[in-house]
Amino acid sequence: MSEIRSVTDSELVEPAKVHGARRRSEWVEILHNAWGFNRTRVGVGIFAFILLLAALGPFFAPHSPTEFVAAPFSGPSAGTVLGVDYIGHDVLSRVLWGGRTVLGLAIAATIIGLVLGVSFGLIAGYARRWLDETVMRLLDVLLAFPQIVLVLLLISLLGPKLWLIVLMVGLSHAPRIARVSRAAALEVVQRDFVRAAEALGEIKPRILFFEVLPNITSPLLVEFGLRLTYSIGLIAALSFLGFGLQPPAADWGLMINENRIGITVQPWAVVLPVSLIAILTIGTNLIADGLGRALIGIERESGGPS
């Protein structure tokens, strides 16, 4: 039924590719198409800016982030362009130092979440029946906890150690990513080329890695962008709550928490880190959205009979 329908529908599909001239692989094309959206470019611009700021900032910091330079909450002056914080550190220097942790931890956590989630999702999607049921049911249990609550629960006794936070933020992503990859894998697993490989007697790991996985890379690309956004938010929120980086570390989330009591007298110490986190998450989300739009576009294009 669907076969016949889609043949007719494809009459309306823009002819994306003339015979012969075509891409090598889909995700390259997704990146290419995503670049065509202004929002993606803005997102990439923002992300690159923050990345540079985090990476190179410390080299331009006028003071050490832990040096006492003036009385607490002093406003901007000649030596301290943006004033000092609640304890007398230079705000600008701390801002220039404080991006590394957020970015680094968030990227690490996202990668962990992706690896865990994709593995579970692929296995569940291909195994089906009881193994699928069991894996997904157990992951659903983790899903019952809002991410921040899950992380708090898991670090409550072991204390806010950085490696633990990264691992737990990753783990809290895993069930959500597993759902996405399982759904994508399920659709692929139903296609006949998987049956064909099975009929030839191809071994299961090869089927998972060479037949199924290459067909779900594109949604995973989008998922990575999305999860990175949430990782940044989560990690910054943990620092904000006092369970992430500990003083005297320079970290944007921590800075907000430390200085919010002085928000009226020395707003820079709060406004600057808040704005940087805000534009960073907006940037990564713009990239994720651009990728998502490109993905939908490509599915439409090759949406002929399939």
Partner 1 sequence: MPPLLKLILMRFGLGALTLFLVSVVVFAATQALPGDTARAILGKDATPQRLELLRQQLGLDKPVPQQYWEWLSGVAQGDLGDSLVQQGMSVTSLLRDRVKNSAALVLIAALVSVPFSIIIGALSAVWRDSKFDMTASVGNLTLAALPEFVIGIGLVLVFATNVFKVLPAVSRLDPSVSMFRQLHLLILPALTLTLAVAPYISRILRASMIEVLESEYVMMARLKGLSNHLVLWRHALPNAIVPTLQVIALNLAWLAGGVVVVEYLFGFPGIGQALVDAVANRDLPMIQALCLLIAGVYVVLNLMADLGTILVSPRLRTGLR
Partner 2 sequence: MNDVVLTVDGLEIVLDPSGIGIDHEVSLVIRQGEVLGLVGESASGKTTAATALLRHQRRGAKIAGGRIRIDGTDIFGVSDAELRELRGGLISYVPQDASAALNPALRIGTQLTEILEAHSFGSSAAERRKRLAEMMAEVLLPSDRAFLRRYPHQLSGGQQQRVAVAMAFGCRPKVIVLDEPTTALDVTTQAHVLDTIRDLTKSYGVAALYVTHDLAVVANLADRIAVMYAGRVIETGSKRDIFRQALHPYTRKLLAAIPDLSGERALHGIPGWAPRPGQRPEGCAFVPRCDWAIDRCREEFPPSEGPSEEHQTRCWRYREVGAQPMGGDARQSGRDGTTGAADQPVVDVRQLSAFYQRKECLHDIFMALHERRCLALVGESGSGKTTLARCIAGLHPFKIEGEITFRGHQLARDSRGRPRPVRQAIQYVFQSPYSSLNPRKTVRQILAQPLRIFFDLDAGETDARMAHALEQVALDTSLLRRYPDELSGGERQRVAIARALAAEPTVLICDEVTSSLDVSVQAAIIELLAQLQREGGLSMLFVTHNLALVRSIAQEVAVMSEGRIVEFGLVDTVLENPQADYTRKLLADTPTI
CB of 163 to partner 1, least distance (A): 16
Could you tell which of partner 2, partner 1, none binds residue 75, using a CB distance below 5 to 8 A set by kind?
none
Instruction: Please state the length of the chain.
Output: 306
How does DSSP classify residue 13? S
Hey, which residues does 84 pair with through a beta bridge? 90
Q: Which of 210, 112, 120, 212 is nearest to 169 (CA)?
A: 112
Instruction: Determine contact, residues 109/169, Cβ cutoff 8 Å.
Output: yes
Residue 197 token pair: 């490989």
193 interacts with partner 2 by CB under 8 A: yes
Q: Rule CB under 8 A: choose which of 67, 202, 282, 297 binds partner 2.
A: 202
Q: How far is the CB of 297 from partner 2 (least distance, A)?
A: 12
When asked if residue 131 is in the footprint of partner 2 (CB under 8 A), the reply is no
Name which of partner 1, partner 2, none residue 3 binds, using a CB cut-off of 5 to 8 Å depending on partner kind.
Answer: partner 2
Q: Which does 56 bind (CB under 5 to 8 A by kind): partner 1, partner 2, none?
A: none
90: β partners: 84
Evaluate whether 91 touches 77 at the Cβ level (below 8 Å).
no
* Residues that bind partner 1 in the complex, under the rule CB under 8 A: 39, 137-138, 140-149, 152-158, 229, 232-234, 236-237, 240-243, 256, 260, 263-264, 267, 270-271, 274, 277-278, 281-282, 284-286, 289
CA-based end-to-end distance of the chain: 12
Q: Please tell me the distance from the alpha carbon of residue 171 to that of residue 169, in angstroms, as a whole number.
A: 5
Positions that interact with partner 2 (CB under 8 A): 1, 3-5, 7-15, 17-20, 22, 25-26, 191-193, 195-202, 210-211, 214-215, 302, 304-306
